[in-house]
Amino acid sequence: MQLRNLPLLFCAVFSLAIPSLAHAQAEEDAQQPATEQAAPEEDKLVKLIQSIDWKTEGTSPIGTMAQIEIPDGYCFTGADGTIKLMREYGNLTSGAELGYLSPMDFSWFAEFEFDEVGYVKDNEKDKLDADEILKQLRENQKAANKMLRERGSPTLTVVGWHTPPFYNPDTKNLEWAIKLHSSDGTDTINYKTKLLGRRGVMDVVLVCSEEQLSTVVPQYEKLLKGFTFKKEESYAAFTKGDKVAKYGLTGLIVGGTLLAAAKTGLLAKLWKPIAAGLVAIGTMIKRIIRGKKQESI
């Protein structure tokens, strides 16, 4: 599906009647305005959403090494569902995608991927030089932009920090946010969190509009408090002989960040027009996901 069609079609997915909802919900649906028969491509998207295994409560595994608590009002899907969604959004996938967590209205989301780089030593925790890191990011962008041009994608300029790099030695979380300007005139913010574990790093990317950021970040950070590595996969479980990463905290920020930023920036760009339609039909989305849950009982 072409990216330019995504806002219209994605909103259309959730505005269609879903015949498989539970009987009690069907009565509520009957009060909704009738919708036209779905076009083939829209019907395909409806089937995609229905095909995804959503979890709306309890604790859900993220791959084989971690888990996350799902608060009331949120929905989560694992690797298969995440890959389906990313492809539908027009994103390239790597197979490292493990989870997708979002409010029920889909107004923003966090995507989880695991990078098996090994144990990352945090001995740079008191030496993170934001100015020097920013210089490296801008230098790296020259090479990244060449690749983006070859792909036919807009190039990016690193404007500066929205949130300078910060490492929490208690939770072993590294977090930062970069302001980006695209050659197509779009301004976005790339917000990333790295959760350090025994064998690698869980990459978490927050995708929302810039206008949402101030209200979404506190919710996002609260959600991450529900994330834990399994005991044997935690940072503290490191044992002599385990694989050790070839770089430290600074390398996590500057290594490959700009191409990832391009991916996130594009998603964030698309999310602004999508969000308005999705928030307006949040009740319908809840019926779709919770309806699937009732069918599985």
177 in helix, strand or coil? strand
pLDDT the model gives residue 112:
97
- Token digits of residue 130: 């934001």
pLDDT the model gives residue 129:
95
pTM equals: 0.74
pLDDT the model gives residue 153:
78
Q: Which residues of the chain have pLDDT under 50?
A: 1-39, 257-259, 261-262, 265-266, 268-282, 297
pLDDT the model gives residue 240:
96
pLDDT the model gives residue 292:
59
pLDDT in tens, 183-208: 888 888 889 999 999 999 999 999 88
119 in helix, strand or coil? strand
pLDDT the model gives residue 140:
84
pLDDT the model gives residue 49:
72
Helix (H) or strand (E) holding 42: helix 40-51
Gyration radius (Cα) of the chain, Å: 20
pLDDT the model gives residue 152:
82
pLDDT the model gives residue 181:
87
Q: 263 to each of 120, 162, 188, 277, how far by Cα in Å?
A: 24, 18, 11, 22
pLDDT the model gives residue 38:
44
pLDDT the model gives residue 37:
45
